[in-house]
Structure 1
Amino acid sequence: MKKDDLANGDVRRTWFYAKTDIACDDVRLRRLRDTAQDEAVRRTPMIETAVKSLLELDPIDVTPATRQGTFHLVHIACTGQSSLIVRSSRPDVMDPDHTLNIEAVLAPHLTSIRVPHVPVRAVAIGTKRVAPFDLAIYDMAPGESLRDLPETVCECPDLLRSIGQAMRDLHAIEGSGGGPVCLQMGDDEGLRGLHRNWRDYMMLNLEAHVAGCRAIGAITSDQSEAILEIFIDHAAVCADVPTRLLHGDLGNHNIFVQNNAVVALIDWEDALIGDPTFDVAMWLTFHPPRRHAAFLQGYGPAAQDDGFRLRCALSFLRIALSKTVHRHRFAYADLPGRQPAYERIHRGVSAVKRVLAGAKGALFA
């Protein structure tokens, strides 16, 4: 067995995105989501015991978080001096779950260039010494999650520029290869992805995702063929990219802010090594076009480069295909009054065509 495989590398190498590609039937996936809160309540006493053991804290008050993840459950542990976050695995999904160690692996790199993140207090993976599941303990993020703030907050240009700048700073961290961050590295090794290069990752499961989108009526047969041609024709573009550390899931739930500035990026389990445009495109998929200009201004001049714009459009399209399959697997409903989420696929195709035609201005009007 390769050393990568010792840290779930064999499984993670098969994923473009975990919730899209994990080998688990859809009914079971939805059940995991629907039972998360009850399971979090059930294991609260075990979390309390584990935190006391790992950090030698007493007394301590542990409660389930209001919002739960699907593959990881979340608890808040309050001590006399501070509040901590505990994320724990669901062993029926992955056992052991080394994705809980990603923050600890990345922490020295993030600290070196002052990317705002939360310190890791302790990690217990694979031992079952303190609990019948794996867990990681973090400081509570300062500020507030963008998800918990009014929508109007996300319209603030200063905040949008701060998010762009935080992402640009993150992308100063170099790596090699492509795809999910390898969790088994020697002391003298830099960050690297589990795939040979970024192109291999971008093409991973592409045909399956396109077929899945076609099967649920998100795209037609002709559109599916055209999309596959786009990626085949531009495979070389995906190979010739700068390889940097990417967060991989910079939605509002993972961005904490205070006074219109980013103070923490959390939950790095989907971290990648690859093209910076992927993180940019991921953020763009979460937000309407009216917010894009200020965000891109904060990211800097690189976002105006024609090569960057083409790769960003390709990344947006690739993410949209994956997200559409992901949403279908979990039976997520579209929000009232908004376009169907799969419309992002068509926006991605249009953006690629606009860039290739030499159009300037907004990519995703």
Structure 2
Amino acid sequence: MTKEGLANGDVRRTWFYAKTDIACDDVRLRRLRDTARDEAVRRAPVIETAARSLLAMDQIDVTPAPRQGTFHLVHIVRGSMPPLVVRSSRPDVMDPDHTLNIEAVLAPHLASARVPHASVRAVAVGTKRVVPFDLAIQDMAPGEALCDLPEIVCECPDLLRSVGQVMRDLHAIEGGGGGPVCLQTGDDEGLRGLHRDWRDYMMLNLEAHVAGCRAIGAITSGQSEAILEIFTDHAAVCVDVPMRLLHGDLGNHNIFVQNNAVVALIDWEDALIGDPAFDVAMWLTFHPPRRYAAFLQGYGPAAQDDGFRLRCALSFLRIALSKTVHRHRFAYPDLPGRQPAYERIHRGMIAVKRVLAGAKGALFA
């Protein structure tokens, strides 16, 4: 892959999070979810042609997956071998879509660290040789996605510890730079982020995200000023941090489990090189505080370090700002019976203040 051919790499330098920052009209973004199923049905015959060509398969059956992605359509291929998953681009959003290369770039690093993931069978990005869109073909992950299981499953301490342990193993993989994983690396090169360092990434689009949250009433003008002051005063803690491979989006939809243990992490398109505290904070934003203790026990003692706790609180706040803008752009409703999602911003601010005041114990109430 040449530098000239990596057009989307430059675009990813402008994203803190793709779904928050992608240069796409909000109306179109909101239609992606509504049109995904019908588009996946129409695309199925073309996916079948691509699978036959790329994998030399004959007797296969291609069907749209029950759950479609945001920027990718998802199909299941069944035939003479175990089922495969095909993720394909939506060219009206990203063209070419180099995020589909990420799993192939990460695969040897994940394998060496024994991080469970789905193997890549084929990738076709930027060529349009087989089909008029980009795609990646992978093994289907074993087990079941956590989001497809009863909510009570997520309360199991053994499972929560397993998630923490797998994340700790992932964070043993070292990298350089910061931010979205660079896709142009030589065989002997390690993983690198697209930015100079982690602070550059953490501060990327911060003012725009704060302004966006203020504009929709998620925070007040006073709170927006306080948030910007927090990051101005404490951005330096993001400089001298261990740089590791991060998944970047470890929600229940991307964690597959079996017998109360994690058996695969999928969809690495948001992978980063950065501070492990960020990945921990990202997971925390998806869950209520009652699940934190078992997860952090599995992750290990590193999460109890005072420096880690401050960076985790800052990361939680930074992610909450981005997620609030993301949810507004896509018009995602809050779930019935739960606090508004933007309340995570306020929880993040409180956590930062608690750490700075020297408080011990749980960061988040």
What's the TM-score, normalizing by structure 1? 0.99
Q: CA–CA distance in 2 between the matches of 1:4 and 1:168?
A: 35
Residue 57 (1) aligns with residue 57 (2): yes
Shift, 1:5, TM fit: 6.6
- Residue 354 (structure 2) aligns with: 354
Q: CA–CA distance in 1 between the matches of 2:286 and 2:204?
A: 22
Aligned with 2:175: secondary structure? Answer: coil
CA contact (8 A) 2:9 2:98 kept: no
Q: CA–CA distance in 2 between the matches of 1:81 and 1:126?
A: 27
Give the 5 Å matches for 1:42-81.
Answer: 42-81=42-81
- Residue 94 (structure 1) aligns with: 94
Amino acid at match of 2:137: I
Q: CA–CA distance in 2 between the matches of 1:214 and 1:362?
A: 28
What's the TM-score, normalizing by structure 2? 0.99
Residue 155 (1) aligns with residue 155 (2): yes
Q: CA–CA distance in 1 between the matches of 2:293 and 2:286?
A: 14
Amino acid at match of 1:148: D
- Residue 111 (structure 2) aligns with: 111
- Residue 259 (structure 2) aligns with: 259
Amino acid at match of 2:260: N
- Residue 201 (structure 2) aligns with: 201
Aligned with 2:166: secondary structure? Answer: helix
- Residue 245 (structure 2) aligns with: 245
CA contact (8 A) 1:4 1:184 kept: no
Per-residue Cα deviation, 1:68-122 (whole angstroms, up to 9, x for no partner): 1121000000012310000000111111111001000000000001000010000
- Residue 14 (structure 1) aligns with: 14
Q: CA–CA distance in 2 between the matches of 1:235 and 1:129?
A: 46
Per-residue Cα deviation, 1:134-163 (whole angstroms, up to 9, x for no partner): 000000100000000000000000000000
CA contact (8 A) 1:4 1:10 kept: no
Q: CA–CA distance in 2 between the matches of 1:5 and 1:300?
A: 41
Q: CA–CA distance in 2 between the matches of 1:241 and 1:110?
A: 21
Residue 133 (1) aligns with residue 128 (2): no
- Residue 306 (structure 2) aligns with: 306
Number of equivalenced pairs: 364
Q: CA–CA distance in 2 between the matches of 1:237 and 1:320?
A: 19
In the superposition, relative to structure 1, how do residues 223 and 177 fare at CA in structure 2: closer, same or farther (>3 Å)? same
Aligned-residue Cα RMSD (Å) equals: 0.9
Q: CA–CA distance in 2 between the matches of 1:82 and 1:175?
A: 33
- Residue 190 (structure 1) aligns with: 190
Q: CA–CA distance in 2 between the matches of 1:73 and 1:273?
A: 26
Q: CA–CA distance in 2 between the matches of 1:178 and 1:10?
A: 14
Shift, 1:7, TM fit: 4.9
CA contact (8 A) 1:48 1:62 kept: yes
- Structure 1 runs (4+) greater than 3 angstroms displaced: none
Shift, 1:188, TM fit: 2.1
